Amino acid sequence: MKLTPKAAMLAAIEEGKKGSGFVSPNPLVGCVILDRDYNFLAKGYHARLGELHAETHALKSVTDTSRLKGAHMYVTLEPCAHEGRQPSCAKTLATLPLKSVTYGLPDPNPKVSGRGVEILRAAGLEVVRFAELQNELEELAEIFLMNMREGRPFVSVKVASSLDGQVALADGSSQWITSEASRGHVQSLRGFHDAVLTGAGTFHGDNPRLNSRDSRFADKRLPVILLDPDGSCVAALPGSALLQVRPAADVFLVTKPGVKVLSGVTHIELSMRDGEFDLRALVSLLPAYGVHSVFVEAGATTVSAFLRQRLCDRLYVFMAPKILGKGLGWTSALQIPSLEQAVRLENLRVEPLGEDFLFTGRTIFSTRTLPKSLG
Ligand SMILES: NC(=O)c1ccc[n+]([C@@H]2O[C@H](COP(=O)([O-])OP(=O)(O)OC[C@H]3O[C@@H](n4cnc5c(N)ncnc54)[C@H](OP(=O)(O)O)[C@@H]3O)[C@@H](O)[C@H]2O)c1
Nearest to residue 108, comparing CAs of 25, 9, 19?
25
The structural domains of the chain, with segments of one domain joined by +, span: 5-145, 152-364
Q: Residue 318: what pLDDT?
A: 98
Q: Report CA(304)–ligand 1 centroid distance (Å).
A: 9
Instruction: Please give the distance of CA 257 from its chain centroid, rounded to a whole number.
Output: 30
Q: Is the pLDDT of residue 229 over 90?
A: yes
Q: Is the pLDDT of residue 32 over 90?
A: yes
Q: Report CA(299)–ligand 1 centroid distance (Å).
A: 4
Question: Are 362 and 154 contacting, i.e. CB atoms less than 8 angstroms apart?
Answer: no
Q: Exposure string (b/e) for 234-253, b if CB count within 10 Å is 16 or more? A: beebeebebbebbeeebbbb
**Closest C-alpha to ligand 1, atom 13:** 299
DSSP assignments along 29-94, one per residue: -EEEEE-TTSBEEEEEE--STTS--HHHHHHHT-S-GGGGTT-EEEEEEPPP-S-SSS--HHHHHH
- Give the fold, CATH level 3, of 5-145: Cytidine Deaminase; domain 2 (3.40.140)
Of residues 172 and 211, more confidently modeled: 211
Question: Are 266 and 253 contacting, i.e. CB atoms less than 8 angstroms apart?
Answer: yes
The upper half-sphere exposure of residue 8, i.e. CA atoms within 13 Å in the direction of its Cβ, equals 27
Q: Report CA(275)–ligand 1 centroid distance (Å).
A: 15
Q: Is the pLDDT of residue 375 over 50?
A: no
Give mean pLDDT, residues 198-221: 96
Question: Are 354 and 318 contacting, i.e. CB atoms less than 8 angstroms apart?
Answer: no
CATH top-level class of 152-364: alpha beta
**Closest C-alpha to ligand 1, atom 10:** 299
Amino acid identity, position 195: A
Q: Which residues are tagged catalytic?
A: 55
Could you tell me the pTM of the whole model?
Answer: 0.94
How confident is the model over 301-322, as pLDDT tens digits? 999 999 999 999 999 999 999 9
Q: Residue 251: what pLDDT?
A: 98
Pocket of ligand 1 (CB under 6 A): 159-160, 167-168, 172, 174, 177, 198-202, 205-206, 227-230, 232, 276-277, 279, 297-302, 305, 328
- Positive or negative CA dihedral for 265, 266, 267, 270? negative
How confident is the model over 69-110, as pLDDT tens digits? 999 999 999 999 888 777 899 999 999 999 999 999 999 887
Among the listed ranges 91-100, 186-195, 300-309, 329-338, which one has the minimum average pLDDT value?
A: 329-338
Q: Residue 84: what pLDDT?
A: 78
Q: To test the ligand 1 pocket, which listed residue (175, 179, 227) has its Cβ within 8 A of the most ligand atoms?
A: 227
Among the listed ranges 95-104, 205-214, 291-300, 333-342, which one has the minimum average pLDDT value?
A: 333-342
How confident is the model over 131-173, as pLDDT tens digits? 999 999 999 999 999 999 999 999 999 999 999 999 989 998 8
